[in-house]
């Protein structure tokens, strides 16, 4: 599984559709997009593809707006990438972005990187990937 790294890659995926949502997370997915398909008028046609079509790509977006402390943002990203490795075979070969869309209530967790927070994030991200894998299978059957 490859990781998304550039702003253009994230923007291309976020322009795609949302395939799953939970209380705190959303997963966006996009078919492979050529760099020449972007909205930038300065894009050169000789630019390489943003995504290799024969691989699964994953990216994690954890905005400071929803997770103020860096330790919390890193914890969430590590959980997302770890779970993505387990679900790689059930996801289509495309690019996916998992985005934190709501904050975790800080009063329920004793620290910014507590075991309780890790468990809560892990359970919800696993649920998100299960929903996404289910919607991908339904989309193929239709």
Question: What is the pTM for the complete model shown?
Answer: 0.80
- 139 pLDDT higher than 90: no
pLDDT tens string 3-27: 999 999 999 999 989 999 999 999 9
Supply the DSSP symbol for 99: E
Q: Where are the domains of the chain?
A: 2-35+50-141
Tokens of 95: 């690019």
Please write the tens of the pLDDT for every residue from 26-64: 999 985 444 444 444 433 333 357 777 778 899 999 999
Per-residue CA distances from 22 to 33, 70, 110 (Å): 26, 22, 23
Q: Please report the pLDDT score of residue 48 as a whole number.
A: 54
**pLDDT of 58-113, one tens digit each?**
999 999 999 999 999 999 999 999 999 999 888 888 899 999 999 999 888 888 88
Banded pLDDT at 1 (limits 50, 70, 90): confident
Structure tokens at 60: 């994690």
Q: How many other CB atoms are there within 10 angstroms of residue 84's CB atom? A: 22
Q: What is the pLDDT of residue 136?
A: 60
DSSP conformation letters of 3-67? E--SHHHHHHHHTSEEEEE-SSEEEEEE----GGGSS-TT--TTPPPSS-TTS-EEEEE--TTT-
Q: Which CATH class is domain 2-35+50-141?
A: alpha beta
């Amino acid at each position: 599984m490859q990781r998304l790294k550039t702003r253009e890659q994230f923007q291309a995926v976020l322009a795609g559709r949302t395939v799953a949502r939970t209380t705190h997370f959303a997963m966006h997915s996009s078919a492979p997009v050529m760099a020449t398909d972007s909205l930038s008028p300065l894009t050169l046609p000789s630019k390489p593809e943003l995504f290799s079509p024969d691989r699964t790509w994953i990216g994690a977006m954890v905005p400071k707006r929803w997770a103020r402390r860096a330790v919390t943002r890193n914890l969430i990203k590590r959980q997302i990438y770890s779970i993505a490795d387990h679900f790689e075979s059930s996801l289509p070969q495309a690019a996916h972005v998992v985005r934190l869309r709501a904050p975790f209530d800080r009063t329920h967790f004793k620290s910014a990187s507590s075991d309780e927070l890790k468990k809560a994030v892990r359970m919800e991200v696993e649920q998100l990937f299960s929903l996404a894998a289910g919607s991908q299978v339904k989309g193929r059957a239709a």
